[in-house]
Amino acid sequence: MRLTTLPVLAAVTAAVLAGCGSDDPPTPAATNPAPTRPVETSPPAEIAGPPVAAALAALETDYAARLGVYAVDTGTGETVEHRADERFAFASTHKMLSAAAVLQATEPAELAQVIPFDAADVVGFSPVTEPAVGTGLTLLEVIQAAITVSDNTAANLLFEQVGGPDGLEAVVRGFSDETTSFDRIEPDLSEWAPGETRDTTTPRAMAANLRGLLLGDLLAEEDRTLLHDTMRANTTGDELIRAGVPEGWVVADKTGSATHGGRNDIAVIEPPGAAPIVLAVYSNRLDPEAESDPALIAAATAIVLDALAG
């Protein structure tokens, strides 16, 4: 099933772009054909040598932050890694996994079924679902709301479709991810402090999930295309990974925000005429009261892409 423009989402996206608040800043939607999945012709090689490591460490100093990065050029197999196995709050980046789990478990025709909910189900930042109380949304609209505007009630409705956090964790274990932990629903899952393991992942684990879902065979082709198109239409990442890529490159991403100044973005990046790059960037500030700064994610992205190009 190809992604379609839905009136309810179009109206709400316009409102968000006009200035509605969100934990994720808006960006214009993009539509492009899905990339051909690459065949790797060389073994993985980590290129995060001293210059790259020093540049990423300098960002941590400049922003008083902890930064986690995992990137892989799917054409060459080269990787950039920085704190790639440390845990970070996944925050709203989990919505990519929730959507994938629902797509994996349903037939295309089932995406047209209406999912009912009432006012008691609505949580903070739900610009698509809140106006639809009493009427409901189709399952496709719920998926699009969770991904493209990061609607939190939509995310919880997806949780319900797969059996809650435990059910989603079981699905993700089937993706060969033994790392990511699902424990709470929205909005509580974005509450994080140092040492917390609930609702956390690592950059390496999430990048592997993203690669398998959008570029691999974890989803049927129709579902993979739908998820990829929906992430390309994301409206919340203009200042994050998208801000760090060269003009003309296409980004399919999902962002997230957590307490402790947490800011995240995961993406499949499509350079013109080249194999996709999979990138996961997670961060938190050292000061628990500090605000997140999207420029940190954009700067890390630019460093990573420069390293892979070198």
Would the pLDDT of 99 be above 90? yes
Marked catalytic residue, from 78, 169, 186, 270: 186
Instruction: Report yes or no: 166 and 182 within 8 Å, Cβ to Cβ.
Output: yes
Question: For tokens 């005429």, what's the residue?
Answer: 273
What is the average per-residue pLDDT within 215-236? 98
Backbone angles phi, psi at 39, to 5 degrees: -105, 120
pLDDT of residue 14: 46
Q: How confident is the model at residue 32 (pLDDT cuts 50, 70, 90)?
A: very low
Residue with the larger pLDDT of the pair 43 and 153: 153
The active-site residue, picked from 92, 98, 126, 257, is: 92
- Specify the pLDDT at position 49: 60
Predicted TM-score (pTM) of the model is 0.87
pLDDT at residue 4 greater than cutoff 70: no
Rounded Cα distance, 177 and 142, in Å: 25
For position 48, what pLDDT does the model report? Answer: 54
Q: Which whole number is the average pLDDT over 155-166?
A: 99
Rounded CA-CA distance 302/242 in Å is 10
d(CA 155, CA 158): 5
User: What is d(CA 154, CA 147) in angstroms, rounded to the nearest whole number?
Assistant: 9
Span 94-100, average pLDDT: 99
* pLDDT band, very low/low/confident/very high, at 37 (cuts 50, 70, 90): very low
CATH topology of domain 25-34+41-309: Beta-lactamase (3.40.710)
Round to whole Å and give the CA distance between 65 and 273: 35
Average pLDDT over residues 249-264: 99
Confidence of residue 76 (pLDDT cuts 50, 70, 90): very high
Residues paired with residue 280 on neighbouring β-strands, in sequence order: 70, 266
Average pLDDT over residues 172-182: 99
Query: Is pLDDT at 270 greater than 90 in this prediction?
Result: yes
Above 90 in pLDDT, residue 184?
Answer: yes
Q: What token pair was written down for 44?
A: 């993985």
Please return the burial class of 216, using the count of CB atoms within 10 Å of its CB with bins 0-12, 13-18 and 19+: middle
Residue 169 has pLDDT above 80, yes or no: yes
Mean pLDDT of the chain: 89
Q: Name the 3-class secondary structure at 78.
A: strand
**Does the active-site annotation cover 257?**
no
pLDDT at position 140 is 99
Which residues lie below 8 Å from residue 144, measured CB to CB, with a gap of 6+? 3, 6, 9, 230, 233
Listed residue (181, 172, 234, 232) closest to 208, CA to CA: 172
With a cut of 70, say whether residue 170 has pLDDT above it.
Answer: yes
Helix (H, G, I), strand (E, B) or coil at 99: helix
Q: Quick check: is 92 catalytic?
A: yes
